[in-house]
Amino acid sequence: MAGPMLDVRTLKGFRDQLPPEMGPRRAMLQAIEAVFRRHGFAPIDTPALEYAEILTGKYGEEGDKLLYQFEDNGGRKVAMRYDLTVPLARFVAQHQALLPSPFRRYHIGPVWRADKPQRGRFREFVQCDADLCGHNSALADAEVLVVGLEVLQALQVDGARIHVNHRGVLTALIAAAGVDPAAAPVAIRAIDKLDKIGPDGVVAELERTLACSPATAREVLSVFAEASDLASLEAVLVRAGVDAEVRAASVGRLRAVFELVAAAGHGDRLFFDASIARGLDYYTGIIYETRLTDPKVAAIGAVMSGGRYDDLIGSFGKTQVPAVGISLGLDRLQAALRELGLCGDGRFGADAFVVAIDEADAVAAMALATDLRRAGVSAELSTRGGKIGKQLESGDKRGCRVALLVGGNERARGEVAIKDLASGGQQVVSLSQAAETVAGLLRV
């Protein structure tokens, strides 16, 4: 007896990926990985599950609330990874004796957050991270930023700007506004919401979390607005009495990074932005967010972010290891590019579509498809049979570029008909020349 009909659906915030979406997605991943490797970053992987104690307390109160946590069948408290950075810190602390210094790693994998799903934001999504562990230098900061910018370049994302700040700048500006430095992390988390809830929302958040007056909250925002570039930032900090050593460590580091990124040819994509806060607690130095400039997708938010986290790895071991990284949100960027019409046509078939005209031609069609594949041409063998026109239509819809028709008089003569599915043009060549002919057509 059949059971009740299932309500077939996916969890909210989770998605199935259909072939038309996966084709452009795989192309993006290949381009991203190629840039990471070109800069000398090595691949690693870490488990989806960690002991809960590894992840909790690293992201701040709000981040901890978004962790998927549960007790497994062995009674262990575990959590699904929230990002790829904290697992990296655990990885480096655990395997430090086996790793070179500096250690350049990249990691591409899914992460999970019990967040509120919205446009471009999902509960399961893929991050593409590149991190440099072992050196605290402007050159290390700049190298990671250049990697991120060259990823965008490889993906042909022209309308993007990286907004850069420094945690030392944030702390100094908050102190300049009269806020107790001990409360800086709370204020930073409020300022991090500026692009989401606006100035009035941030003022209300500061009043609530700092228990301060509206005047003090507005003074915090006004100080940030006054520091519109590195020159005005320096003036604000001097006027607030911030000592030269602190200014050199923050503003001086930013100037050096900007100069190095410009030397790599990407200076026009980097902008100082005092309001960039990055709400995660583990950041210690330079921080950044990448935003798309097209107003159609501005609401999607940051598509690539990161910063320096010099204390995180040391929290898992006896040795402090400075580190800096950048993380691209694949799902959010792909959603934005799809809306802008920059994400490919969604075709997913092989380059060549091999059709047996009759049942008796099946063996020859299989042999030809095998020859094409051995020659490096992706080939799909039509298995549906039936009318040739319907089969060709199927291959065209799947994105195949050419069709090879095996059978009839051509097969008797040791030949095959090759049809360009885009132009409709057709030619007949010998079977021995088929792979070379198809390869030539694909190069055009």
Residue 277 burial by CB count (10 A; 0-12/13-18/19+): exposed, middle or buried? buried
DSSP bridge pairs for 165: 287
Round to whole Å and give the CA distance between 2 and 13: 31
- The residues spanned by each domain of the chain are 19-339, 352-443
* pLDDT at residue 157 tops 70: yes
Mean pLDDT for 306-316 is 96
Which pLDDT tens digit goes with each residue over 316-352?
A: 988 999 999 999 999 999 988 888 887 766 667 799 9
Output the pLDDT for position 124. Answer: 95
Output the pLDDT for position 1. Answer: 54
**Residues near 111 by beta carbon (within 8 Å), at least 6 away in sequence:** 80, 81, 82, 83, 84, 124, 125, 126, 127
**Sorting pLDDT into bands at 50, 70 and 90, what band is 14?**
very high
Sheet order of strands, 304-308 included: 42-43, 103-112, 124-133, 323-329, 304-308, 286-292, 160-166, 270-272
Task: Tokens for 284, please give them.
Answer: 């210690």
Mean pLDDT for 246-255 is 91
Output the pLDDT for position 270. Answer: 95
Round to whole Å and give the CA distance between 184 and 231: 23
The CA R_g of the chain, rounded to the nearest whole Å, is 27
Q: What is the mean pLDDT of the chain?
A: 90
Task: Tokens for 265, please give them.
Answer: 């040819």
**Identity of residue 112:** W
Helix axes 184-191, 167-176, angle to 10 degrees: 110
DSSP bridge pairs for 200: none
Positions of E strands within 150-308: 160-166, 270-272, 286-292, 304-308
Output the pLDDT for position 346. Answer: 64
Which pLDDT tens digit goes with each residue over 34-49?
A: 999 999 999 999 999 9
Alpha helices in 39-137 (DSSP H): 52-55, 61-65, 85-95
Output the pLDDT for position 345. Answer: 63
Sign of CA dihedral 115, 118, 123, 125: negative
CATH number for the region 352-443 comes to 3.40.50.800
How is domain 19-339 classified at the CATH fold level? BirA Bifunctional Protein; domain 2 (3.30.930)
Output the pLDDT for position 240. Answer: 78
Higher pLDDT: 163 or 209? It is: 163
Q: Give the C-alpha distances (Å, rounded to integers) separating 332 from 34, 86, 166, 189, 278.
A: 20, 21, 24, 22, 17
Which pLDDT tens digit goes with each residue over 105-145?
A: 999 999 999 988 877 789 999 999 999 999 999 999 999 99
Output the pLDDT for position 185. Answer: 77
Round to whole Å and give the CA distance between 236 and 309: 25
The DSSP H or E segment spanning 124 is: strand 124-133
